[in-house]
Every structure is written in C-alpha cells, then in structure tokens.
Structure 1
Amino acid sequence: MKLLFLACLSPKTGNYTTAERIRSHIESAGHSCELRDVADFHSPSDLAHLVSQNPPFEGALAIHLFKAGRLLLDLRLPFGVIFGGTDINEDVKDEQKRVVMEQVLLKARFAVAFTEKLKEEAEFVLVSPDSKIYVQPQGIQTEVAEQFCWTEFLRSSEWHSKNLHNILIIIGPKVDPALTAEVEAVVKRATGVFLAQERSQQELHAAMKRCYAVVNSSVSEGMSAAILEAMDLRVPVLARNIPGNAAVVKHGVTGLLFSSPQEFVHQSQRLLSDQELRERVVRSGKLYVEEHHSVKQERETYQRLVDKLHKAQFLA
C-alpha cells in the first residue's frame, strides 16, 4: 500500500521523531510511506496533484487533526489520524477549528490518542463514535551518542562555577520566533542559564544522561517524549503539573511535579538532598517506560491500523 503521511516536520522536534518512528513501523510491514510536512500545503487542493501522481496514493495518515487532518477532508482517500496535544489542549477552544476537527474525526477510519485521558477528553469535546479512538502510548527507545561535550556551555559565571551542577541548559530548535525572542531576552538577564541549539536525538540523549535531572516546564503537552526518554535513560524528571505530564509522571514515584517557580525550587532541592527519593524515581521511571511504552507494541498497533486502510480502499 502506498501511504501519504502528513505531520509537522520541523527538524529535531518531538513531532519529527515521532513521525519518523511511526513511518518506520509502517514500512517494516511492507508498505510504502511518504512523509510530508504540512507546511508545504495550505489547502486540500494543494495536495490533489501529489495524491493523484502515478502510482497514486492509496491511503493517508496525519498527526494533528486540525493542522494536518483538515488537508485530507476533500480527498478521496481512506485515512487515519493521530491526536497531538495541541488538538485537545488548544485548538478545541476555537469554535471554527473544533468544527473542522469533528469533520476530520467523523471521516477518519480510526484515530489514535496517546493516553486514556486524551481519549476521554476527545470523546467529550468532539462528536465521535467511541470505538473509533484507540489508545497507543508513544514507543520509547533511547540511543546515546558515544562522544558529547558540554564545554561550549560552561562559560564563566560566579554562581555555577562554584558548583557545575547548578546550571540550566535549554536545548531545542527555534520554532516560534516570538517565543524565542522572549526566552533569549530572559536568558541574557539570568546567571547559569544557557540556550543551546538543537541536537541529533543521540546527542540529546547523551546530554540528558550527563544531567542531574531533566525539566519539562511546558504549559501544554500531549505526551512528552523527552520525559519518557529521560526515564528510560534513568535520569530523574521534574515536570510542570499539567494533564499531559501528569499522565506519565506520578509525583514522588516516577518523577516530581511542580505548579509554580517556588514549588520547582522546592522539588529540585528535595531531589538534590534525598538520595533515596532520587533512586526511587529513577527505578520506577525506568520500569514504567519498559511496561507501558514498548516500541514493539507501538509497531504492532500501527501496522494493524494501517491494515484497516488497506482493506478500506477495496470497499470504497
């Protein structure tokens, strides 16, 4: 089966690595899967020529119901969709976007949510047959680069030079220009806080492995692969207490949650001073990922769902 896969593909982002991993699952079953960036298309008509090329696409898959799924509405292809955190956390607040998302969900042959909570919220805010939404957590598999050096970040600073553990390094691509400018301005005024450009996944895992803890301060998450990767690497996690994070971080067991800057400092100090707590969250986090985020299970789920699209093309 020749499958079109639409997703937001900013390099070295969570969306990109998730899409690549799912694409590999599909192709390992013998299908052809062409991954394309939603930024290349502005309307369903933009996709028409691509879809009808010879040989034509026989089905489609999309991550994010609004950002990507809307582009498939007018195409005569059986398709499935994968919920992104933005869908339920942000886009449903916009009535026009919500209506489009309902249309996408009704037309889709299946939908995938990363957590039971996300599925419940989707069924509550969007019109959808309950049996259409499947739950499949992200599969996690980490790989650490053999060579990695922090030298470029350890510039002279009175605060962190006394204890090199006391630094905060923010790593990632500059996706949102306005937010990037705001963060850069704050960092310039801070001591011991550094910005680093995006790295390959293996280098990022190497960076995590050398840290005392990984912090997720996001105010909107579907399922943070960075949190799960940290757990898999046996690195403690400090995460903002929002539904997407709380779905994978059980406070005091698989990580620590915070709701304010003051609470973040408090939980960080707990982690630094309580070795038993640190060992417990590391051990429990690793076990949680092994039990609930199997790449093998993820592969089997997507291969089974793509088979639904394969059969649907003969019924259309």
Structure 2
Amino acid sequence: MKILFLACLSPKTGNNTTAERIRSYVEAAGHTCELRDAAEFGSPAEVAALVSRRPPFDGALAIHLYKAGRLLLGKKTTTTPQTHTHRCPYKPIFGGTDINEDVKVQQKRLVMEQVLQKTHGGLVSPVVWWWMCVIISFVLQVFLLVCGLRRVKDPLYLVQAFSEWHRENPLNVLIIIGPKVSTLSSTLTQTAGVFLTNERSQEELHASMRRCCALVNSSVSEGMSAAVLEAMDLGVPVLVRDVPGNAALVRHEFNGLLFSSPQDFVVQSRRLVSDQELRHRLVLNGRTYGEDHHSLDQERETYQRLVDLLR
C-alpha cells in the first residue's frame, strides 16, 4: 500500500521523532510511506489534490486531530459543501495537545469531531515532546526538566521554590532543556540554581538523563509524556506534576513520584535524594512498567495493524 503520513515535523521535536519511528514500522511491514509536514499544506483541498495524483495514495495517517487530521477532510464541492471529493481512507492518531488543550476551543473541537466522524476510530499515541541535551557533572544532584518552552509546559512553575532549596544546598541544581527564549533566559539569569540550556540530539539527551538525579515534568497538561517513559526505560526516577496525563503513567511511590505544588516538589525531591530504598524501588518498577505497557515491539505491531485496517 502507498500511505500518506501527515505530522508536525519541526526539527528536533518529539512529533518529528515519533513520526519517523512510526514510518519505519509501516515501511518494515512492506508498505510505502510518504511522510509530509502538515505545515506544508494550507487547506484540505491541497491534500486532496495530492492524494488523487497518479498513482494515488491507498490510505493516510495523521498525528494530531486538529493540526494534521483536519487536512484529511478533503475538498468541499460547490454544490454540496459538506461532502468531500477524495475517497482515501485515513486513521487519525491522537497527539497530546489535541485531546488536552485544543478540545477546549469550540472551533477546533468541531473540526476534530468531523475528523473522527470520517474515520473508523483513532489511536492514542504518545506525543514525544522535545529531545534535548546537557552534560551533567557527577558532583551535583541535577534535576532535569526537558520541555518545549510553551505555556502548557509551565517551565517556570518550580523555579522559585527550587532556587530557595538551592540556596540551602548548592549541590541541588535544576536544568531546563529547551530552545532559548529571551524572556525566559533573562528571568533565569537572576535565579540561583536554575539554568537553561539549548537543545541537543536524542543520543546526547539520553546520556544526560542517565547521569541526572531525576527527570522532572511540570506541565499544566499532558497527553502521554514520552520523556517520562524514556526516563523510566533508562532507569531514571521521575518526578511529575499531578495532572491527569502524568498520573495515568506514574503511580505515586510505585514507579515515580507525583507533586501537587512547588513546595511539594521540594518535599518529594528531598525524599528521593535521601532514601536510596525508595529510589531503587522507583527505578525497578519504572522499567517494569515501561516493558509491560509501552514496549516498542507492541507499538510497532499496533501501527502495522492500523495500516492494515486501511485496506
């Protein structure tokens, strides 16, 4: 089968990494998969024209119901505006911001509903947020916050409380990894114990994660944080904000620690630093959880089956 795959492909983003991985699954199953950036297309009509070219596509996939899925709604005709001209079957893959944030906006929600109505059902996929890097000194107790610097990621949520803890114990350091933003950089310049560093490759990020004290997630809203799952797989404890997406992955004191406020984050961090038995339990259970519920083999088989449903 010839498959069109639409996703947001900004360089060095989690969406890009996830899309490339899914494409490899599809192609490994013997299909042809053309991965295209959703930002290339200004309207569903442009995608409809692409799909209908010879030889035509047999099916399509799209990560994120609004940003990419809406482009598969087709070209509306002049006589029947609610119908669509191309017959290419498609499957949307839920991202994270679509079902956590965009659904709150009525106009976007209506479009997403149309996307779902035109298919036989979507598949929830992790949105892999931002793959970045920093080289960490073994001397420090480094807490690593990996995120795209957006409102929903709330990168400044822990800054003040962590800075106060750092003044008490200078060995504790919080490093935020993500694209530098001038306003954020200027804020952190005045903040003790909290640093911002540029993005790096996934390989460099993993090397840094293995050497940090814990992987932190402070998001206001999450779908299924791949950074958290990666940390578990690498044997790194996770400290995550108690929001539904994070709480779906992390069971408090079993495979990670949840915090409900900046002050609670410091309390849980102190426990993690001082209690080696707790740390060992979180690492062991985190790895087991990832193997049981988020294995790459299962993910590959699921996406290959998804493509088969387009036949």
TM over 0.5: yes
Deviation of the 1:225 alpha carbon: 0.5
* Stretch of structure 1 that moved more, 284-293 or 6-15: 6-15
Aligned-pair identity in percent equals: 66
CA–CA separation in structure 1 for the residues paired with 2:120 and 2:256:
36
Indicate whether 1:89 and 2:100 are aligned: yes
Deviation of the 1:44 alpha carbon: 0.8
Aligned to 2:285: 284
Aligned to 2:173: 167
Matches within 5 A, 1:234-249: 234-249=235-250
CA–CA separation in structure 1 for the residues paired with 2:231 and 2:70:
33
Matches within 5 A, 1:246-265: 246-265=247-266
CA–CA separation in structure 2 for the residues paired with 1:165 and 1:30:
52
Aligned to 2:41: 41
Aligned with 1:167: secondary structure?
Answer: strand
- Gaps spanning 5+ residues in structure 1: where? 115-136, 140-144, 175-179, 312-316
Which of 118, 128, 143 in structure 2 is aligned with 1:107?
A: 118
The one-letter amino acid paired with 1:57 is F
Indicate whether 1:98 and 2:99 are aligned: no
The one-letter amino acid paired with 2:254 is V
CA–CA separation in structure 2 for the residues paired with 1:203 and 1:303:
30
CA RMSD across the alignment = 2.5
Indicate whether 1:28 and 2:28 are aligned: yes
The one-letter amino acid paired with 1:63 is I
Deviation of the 1:61 alpha carbon: 0.4
Question: Cα–Cα, structure 1 residues 78 and 252, in superposed 2: closer, same or farther, change >3 Å?
Answer: same
Deviation of the 1:161 alpha carbon: 11
Deviation of the 1:30 alpha carbon: 0.6
Aligned with 2:172: secondary structure?
Answer: coil
TM-score by length of 1: 0.79
Deviation per CA, 1:198-246: give whole Å up to 9, x if none: 1111111001011010101111211000000001111110101111111
Deviation per CA, 1:68-110: give whole Å up to 9, x if none: 1000001431000111121221111111111111110011233
- Gaps spanning 5+ residues in structure 2: where? 75-85, 141-164
Indicate whether 1:223 and 2:224 are aligned: yes
What count of residue pairs does the alignment treat as equivalent?
271
The one-letter amino acid paired with 1:222 is G
Deviation of the 1:13 alpha carbon: 1.8
CA–CA separation in structure 2 for the residues paired with 1:304 and 1:89:
26
Question: Cα–Cα, structure 1 residues 206 and 165, in superposed 2: closer, same or farther, change >3 Å?
Answer: farther
- The structure that is helix-richer by fraction is 1
Matches within 5 A, 1:1-316: 1-74=1-74, 75-114=86-125, 149-150=135-136, 165-173=171-179, 180-309=181-310, 311=311
